[in-house]
Each structure stands twice: as C-alpha cells, then as structure tokens.
Structure 1
C-alpha cells in the first residue's frame, strides 16, 4: 500500500515550499580542485561514493583508508584506490555503464563535508597504482575521477545527528549485529551467526589490503 499520497509534482511547487538558495550557496561551486579542496581531501580518511547504472538504478558505497589515500593528480583529476572488498563490484560496474559520479568527503570531528561531482573511469595504470600501495600491496584497480564540481556542504546534517559527539553514541551492546543480519538475509545452508561472525573477523583482520 502506497503511503505517499501527497507528492510534490514539479520544481516550481518545490521552490514555492522551500524557497531559493542564498547568494553564498549559489556561488560556492568551483569547477576544479583548488588548494583548499586538495587540503580537505588530503585530511579525509573516508568518503561516500554515489553511482548509477544505465537505467538510473543508484548505489552508494563507502571508501576509507588512512588520510591521504585519495591521490590528487592535478586540478581536475584524482584517483581512489580500489581496496579488497566483497567482489560485488556494484560501483565499478555502474561506472562502466554510466561514468557520472558523486562523492562526499568526511574529516573526523569536522561537521562540514566536501562534495565533488564528475566523471569516473576504472584505471589499471601500474605506475599510479604502485603509489597507492599499502604494506607492500598495491590495489588491483583504481577509480579515476575527473572533477566537474567542488563545493563545501554545510554542517547542519552532522550537527543535527551529533555524528562526532561520542556522548550521543549508543552503547555497543545495543548496536545491530552485522553477522545476524547477514545470516537472516542470505539464508546460506550450513551457516550460523557464529560462522558468519568468524568470517567477518577474519576478513577485517587479514584482508584489508
């Protein structure tokens, strides 16, 4: 049963409800990586990567490593190393069919974020990949991004969520169990919550790179 019965139908109606951005918000977008954006990227250990396939089916995926893991090449290009994951390759497959990409960079403790939109390609350039090696292991591939827009996003969402306020964090024993969720969703024969938990722990300790 559809619970969404009263929907906004067009941009004019949307603007009539929300209004228009300030002059600062309208003019804050730049088309390249300047020294401020490069410094933000260098200090960021975590980003969210948004992609869509040729049909518009969307996906958002996290990427993280030590600060500086994203390599800025020039004012228009940077590379994200593709570290070992679950091999679903959702983001990479999307990029092959639709190169448009959106990214959100985070710095722990900072409530503003950096948004970058552009085009992506999957790169296998050995010279670039070698520069992103960790513990002697280079990534098999990288995501090369050509920047089309850069801008700072205001802190309101992180302030409202108290994301960096450790006093607001729930107690660990109350958190959802990833192993239990995977067990219930995948329904693999002969698996248990314990075997899945052990597999996760092994992956996190032995296969980060």
Structure 2
C-alpha cells in the first residue's frame, strides 16, 4: 500500500540560510574550476567509457541521460569543444529535444575504479558534420548525429559519493538474482496488451545484441 503524500515541513528558501547550515567551500574547491579542457581533462575523457548528461527544456523541466561506449568515445576537438556520438537508443530523444530549446548541458565523466569524476558544463548543439561523424564510426556504422559541446567550465569532483556507496567494490554489489527485473518493471509500467514479461525480455536481449550501433 502506498503511503500518503508527505508534506515537507521545514524547507530552505535562500542561499544565506543554506550557507549558515553547510558553510563555505575551501580555497582549493573555489579555485579548482577552469574554463577549458587542459591536458588533464583531455586524458580523463580519453579514458572514460561513460558520461552522464543533464539537460533541461526551455521551461526548466530536467532530464539526465547516460551515454557509454569504449574509452575515448567522447572526442575532444579543441580546448573548448568536445563531441558525443549519438548511438541508437529508444528514440525518446529527451536530451536532444531539450538541447533544441535550451543549449545548457552538464556532463559527468566516470572511469571505472576511480572515485573522482570530471564535471564539464557548457552549451550544446546537434551537429551532422560528416568528418566528425565518420571519425566516430564503430563497426562500420557512424552515428547519425553528434552532440557538440562548447565548454564553459570543468573541474574534478571528489570521490566521497563513490566511497560512501562502494560503487566500484564488487563485495558491496547485490546478488544478480536479487536485482530488480527491468523486464518486469517495463511490463508493469507500460501495460501494453498482448505483452508478457518474457516477450519484453526477448526484445531487450535482441536489442542489446543487435542494435548497439
């Protein structure tokens, strides 16, 4: 049984109130932000197989979406530019539709086993330059679209979230048989007629094995 909607009683309304509770960043934290991709950032991106991208539409409604491929799949074009290949997905196009009305994006690059992440913020556009798309081809298949980002700021983010969660530590992982079932979730959320958990599982397996690129 679902609980009744909780009514928040105490909320913070101003930055001044927030600062009075949590304080201010150190000089190191305040000064770690740079406005371009230096050699450290380029190396980090070249070793990252996974990036999370946040976007919002013109009304401010937000979305966050993962992108992943072999390390270095996000290509650095210059100190101020990078490009992310848009591989085949579910065709919702949440991120790309948002970018069309609001170019602001936030990226978090992850490297398996490393607790620190690289955060990059900037403005994005959808690009179709053949020379760029050709360079991102995999198994003879090039992306139809790339997400180009004009970098405005980037900085390293500490590992505390990964330390607390034990994300990279296999000993903390839940047994596979106890994990939530994506097929069951899709079945119960979509409620499509003439569909079963098994048929959805088959569709997922087929998609993952044949339509990654």
TM-score by length of 1: 0.99
Q: 1:127 is matched with which residue: 112, 116, 131?
A: 131
Q: 1:172 aligns with which of 169, 176, 181?
A: 176
User: Following TM superposition, by how much is the alpha carbon of 1:2 offset from its aligned partner in structure 2, in angstroms?
Assistant: 3.9
2:41 is aligned with 1:31: no
* Cα deviations by residue, 1:69-117 (Å, 9 ceiling, x for unpaired): 0010000001000000000000000000000000000000000000000
Q: 1:155 aligns with which of 149, 152, 159?
A: 159
How many Å separate the matches in 1 of 2:53 and 2:197?
29
User: What is the deviation of 1:4?
Assistant: 1.2
Tell me which of 88, 97, 100 is aligned to 1:93.
97
Question: Secondary structure, in 3 states, of the residue corresponding to 2:174?
Answer: coil
Q: RMSD between aligned alpha carbons?
A: 0.5
Q: Which residue of 43, 47, 51 corresponds with 1:47?
A: 51
Point out where structure 1 has 5 or more consecutive residues left out of the alignment. Answer: none
Deviation per residue, 1:138-157 (Å, 9 max, x gap):
00000000000000000000
Paired residue secondary structure (2:202): helix
- Number of aligned positions between the proteins: 209
Whole-Å separation in 2 of the counterparts to 1:59 and 1:95 = 11
Residue among 65, 69, 73 paired with 1:69: 73
Shift of 1:31: 0.0
| CA–CA separation in structure 1 for the residues paired with 2:128 and 2:8 | 45
- Give the gaps of 5 or more residues in structure 2: none
* Equivalent-residue separation in structure 1 for 2:8 and 2:99 (angstroms): 31
SS in 2 for 1:199: helix
Cα distance, 1:67 vs. partner? 0.2
**4+ runs of 1 displaced by more than 3 Å?**
none
